[in-house]
Amino acid sequence: MKIKFKKTIRNIIIAFISLLVLGFIFANIDYSRTKKGKPPILAIRIGNNKYTNADMYYGLGYSVIKCPEYENNETKYQLRFLDNAHACASSFDVEISYNLIKTYEKKECDKKPELYFTENERNIYLYCFDKVEVIKNEEVLELDNYLKNNNETIDDFVNLFSELDSFWDGGSKIYREIKNGGWYGNNYKVVDNNISILKCNTLNGNKDVYIGNKKMSYEDGFCS
């Protein structure tokens, strides 16, 4: 009986060590691929991190995290049992309180702005986006509701971003990156860094705002 018990324990230990060795081999193979900018082949993609939109892959005792564009498309590697809620964020970033701005781009864009909401007789349009969300303390709100709940205006939102260009129509401006480097400024981040904002200020009094992807520019029909 004792011999059988010892044999069982030995088999369990051998199986455990074999899994560790196999996991180590798999991890090294995938790690080598990600260092070359290639996706893992021995880990399974399980979706996106809800905080950073990073692609998440699970392997045998490890995970591979492919960060989106705002981290220069860097691929990071970490063991699976580590907390990955802030994957793609630096240690400083984890310590501060921040809000995420997340955009949802249309699968097919007809390049026609659509009315999103109205604020004090100003129209706010979306261009090639289905919606814009703000995530704060794990609470997810669409932009209009977030502004109302926090007693903020669309101007407060626009002022988070740096001016890219201005136009000779009275002073309309287009904005792109979050201020102060685009990552820590004002404790906001933009997932995928895919946003442009056109704030109209025409001679005929148009004050509308257009929120679209990075490809959006001041096109015919805007601010009219």
DSSP letter, residue 39: P
Distances (CA, A) of 206 to 94, 158, 198, 203, 209: 40, 16, 12, 7, 9
In the chain, what's the furthest Cα-to-Cα distance? 94
| 3-class secondary-structure state, position 153 | coil
Name the residue type at position 141.
L
Q: Which two tokens stand for residue 177?
A: 């990156």
Q: Is the pLDDT of residue 83 over 60?
A: no
Q: Is the pLDDT of residue 216 over 60?
A: yes
What mean pLDDT is reported for the chain? 79
In which band, very low, low, confident or very high, does the pLDDT at 94 lie, cut at 50, 70 and 90?
Answer: very low
**pTM confidence score:** 0.59
**224 vs 172, which has greater pLDDT?**
172
Q: How far apart are CA 55 and CA 38, in angstroms?
A: 13
- Tell me what pLDDT residue 88 has: 57
pLDDT per position as a tens digit, 122-177: 999 999 999 999 887 778 899 999 998 888 999 999 998 989 999 999 999 999 98
